[in-house]
Amino acid sequence: MRRSIFFCALFAAWLALGPGAVSAMAQGGDDQDLVEQVQEFKRFYRTYKDKESKIEAIKVLKGVDCPEAAQALFPLLSDRDPEIVQAAVEVISSFHKEKTLGPFLEILPKLKDPAARSRLVEILGRAGFVQAAPVLRGMLKKERDVPTKVGIARALGCFKDKEAVPYLARLLKDRAPQVRMAALDALAEIRDKKSGNLVVPLLKDPDWRVRSAAIHAARVIRIQAAVEPLIDLLGEKQGRLRMEAADALVDITDCDYGDDQAMWKKQWARLKSLHFKIPSDDEMARRKRKRFENQPRYKKFKKTITYNGITTTSKRMLFVIDISGSMRDLVVDREKFKEGGYKSFQKLEIVKTELIRTIDNLRGDTYFNILAFATRIKPWKKKLVQANILNRSSAISWVKSLHPMGAAAPGAIPMGGMSGGLALGKTNSMGALLAAFGLRPDKIPDERAIQKMGRPRNDLDTIFFLSDGRPSTGIYVDRDDILRTVRVINRYRKIVIHTIAIGEFQKDFLAMLARQNGGQFVDLGR
């Protein structure tokens, strides 16, 4: 019943545009080949009973940029299945012609259903349809729906619309942290120097995710007024924010005193007395070109934690470890691993040894958890726990008990709560990542539901994700589907994801996962 009402509301809104809009649609089929593809879609789509065939049919229309295709896909935005909806959004977002997307601008303000509005806003933003900017700015005056406000902010950022800055300023005062984050991200995309003073107050926002977004915006826009608040953030208990603030200070001032708050205060007071002005963007670019590229910055920070060569100042972290059947295999590059003091050259034994060493060195003010995965997912604890001596001992004992899933090796003890069998030894990367975000591993989340979620209880800010192979089971196994889903979720979580690979396989998925989520990728070897 709800689907029927939603469908009628959407389609009635389209038809309400009147004969002019309908004729514009009809005249869009100049390219007969495109029109024929749409006709074939209409003919066969209803005959498909399984979701996979429906999604494949929808994706055939990707790039078929004509009004008929938009009209055919429009009703699918109301489908009950979020994967069908996502496929339709993805395909319509591939259209760019004004005659194809233009009618949406008249429909959008008239839609009463907030889900319909937020989906159309997402489409226009992803399509880069800059003609939508005036309509979206106007909607912000009265819009109350949080996901729609988030979508509008992101779209205006994608458009790099400088006229949107006063409208985004209102969103910086919104009660929902998701909206404040989206507005800051948009200002970072627009990079208008005049917006700098709007960003600075958010460096003291009560939500750490908003503070992180404000640090990024201040760093990108390069705001001199942000220097002193950023120095204050060097005293943050949230270790990752301290690192981000230090990096921002370097990029704004071209001075580098690491995360030493006392030194920054002393030197900044001296520079202020000399009426110091930060270097221009052009000057900074010239200076950077002269420096040695990719010089590691992490070495300058104190109180760091290192796992498999990745160093972090985070104090709230999750280790996600692959224990699929292939982790029983031996590494090929034995010369590389022979000095590591490992019990054997088995991949999981190497991983366990490194994780145990890291856990043993965690500081008492760090909170952590461990999640092991194969086909199924099993966490050590239900939430992050303090790294006191008892929890470290318990974690080390649990890690030692882990064995590769799948066909049982002689004497192997399956992970608690799991049993053997080849079917259980696959690599469910999507499920593990969803569980890491605190979501159900067997269900793709709806973006609107994610947007409406409050602040995560654990305040997790860093994930270490280790695997030895490509995804082979779970809701999604396609690399692009997994990457897209993680990007959507992480827009609102701001979690850094570091990835570690071990073994022989195509590692571009793990490298891209880290790159898209602010992390580092490390290849331990074959």
pLDDT tens profile 144-180: 999 999 999 999 999 999 999 999 999 999 999 999 9
Instruction: State in Å, rounded, how far the first CA of the chain is from the last one.
Output: 55
User: How much is the pLDDT for 111?
Assistant: 86
Is residue 88 within 8 A of residue 76, CB to CB? The reply is: yes
User: How much is the pLDDT for 459?
Assistant: 82
Based on the domain organization, do 444 and 342 belong to the same domain? Answer: yes
Last residue of a domain, one of 128, 145, 163: 128
Is residue 369 within 8 A of residue 380, CB to CB? The reply is: yes
Higher per-residue pLDDT: 483 or 306: 483
Q: What are the pLDDT digits (tens) for 413-467?
A: 444 444 445 677 888 999 999 999 999 888 887 777 777 666 666 689 999 999 9
Tokens, residue 383: 């939430």
Last residue of a domain, one of 267, 282, 300: 300
User: How much is the pLDDT for 31?
Assistant: 67
Based on the domain organization, do 265 and 391 belong to the same domain? Answer: no
Give the H/E segment covering residue 166. Answer: helix 165-171
Tokens, residue 332: 């090929």
Pairing verdict, β 367-373 and 377-379: antiparallel
Based on the domain organization, do 366 and 245 belong to the same domain? Answer: no
Q: What phi and psi values does residue 268 have, to the nearest 5 degrees?
A: -70, -35
pLDDT-based confidence at 16, cuts 50/70/90? Answer: low
User: How much is the pLDDT for 429?
Assistant: 93
Instruction: Report whether pLDDT(334) > 80.
Output: no
Last residue of a domain, one of 79, 107, 128: 128
Residue 198 lies in a domain: no
Average pLDDT over residues 309-324: 89
Is residue 261 within 8 A of residue 231, CB to CB? The reply is: yes
Based on the domain organization, do 275 and 335 belong to the same domain? Answer: no
Based on the domain organization, do 369 and 487 belong to the same domain? Answer: yes
pTM of the model: 0.79
Bridge partners for 465 per DSSP = 320, 499
Residue 210 lies in a domain: no
3-class SS of residue 260? coil
Based on the domain organization, do 348 and 331 belong to the same domain? Answer: yes
Based on the domain organization, do 319 and 407 belong to the same domain? Answer: yes
User: How much is the pLDDT for 8?
Assistant: 55
Higher per-residue pLDDT: 305 or 125: 125
With a CB cutoff of 8 Å and minimum separation 6, the contacts of 291 are: none
Q: What are the pLDDT digits (tens) for 244-284?
A: 999 999 999 998 888 889 999 999 999 888 889 999 988 88
Average pLDDT over residues 53-71: 92
pLDDT-based confidence at 124, cuts 50/70/90? Answer: very high
The closest alpha carbon to 408, from 423, 396, 398, belongs to: 423
Pairing verdict, β 462-467 and 367-373: unpaired
Q: What are the pLDDT digits (tens) for 214-241?
A: 999 999 999 999 999 999 999 877 778 9
Per-chain mean pLDDT for the chain = 84
3-class SS of residue 315? coil
Based on the domain organization, do 375 and 507 belong to the same domain? Answer: yes
CATH of residue 387: 3.40.50.410
Based on the domain organization, do 253 and 281 belong to the same domain? Answer: yes
User: How much is the pLDDT for 457?
Assistant: 64
pLDDT > 90 in the chain, percent: 51
Tokens, residue 450: 């994610």
Based on the domain organization, do 436 and 484 belong to the same domain? Answer: yes
Residue 204 lies in a domain: no
Q: Report the number of distinct structural domains present in the chain.
A: 3
Average pLDDT over residues 319-340: 81
Is residue 213 within 8 A of residue 494, CB to CB? The reply is: yes
Query: What's 330's DSSP letter?
Result: B
pLDDT-based confidence at 507, cuts 50/70/90? Answer: confident
- CA separation (Å) from 129 to 72, 384, 484? 20, 42, 20
User: How much is the pLDDT for 19?
Assistant: 43
User: How much is the pLDDT for 115?
Assistant: 86
> Can you give the residue range of the structural domain that contains 476?
305-523
Based on the domain organization, do 312 and 458 belong to the same domain? Answer: yes
Is residue 255 within 8 A of residue 280, CB to CB? The reply is: no
Exposed/middle/buried for residue 255 (C-beta within 10 Å: 0-12, 13-18, 19+): middle
**If you count DSSP H runs as helices and E runs as strands, how many of each does the chain have, helices first?**
25, 9
Q: What are the pLDDT digits (tens) for 71-119?
A: 999 889 888 888 898 899 999 999 999 999 998 998 898 888 888 889 8
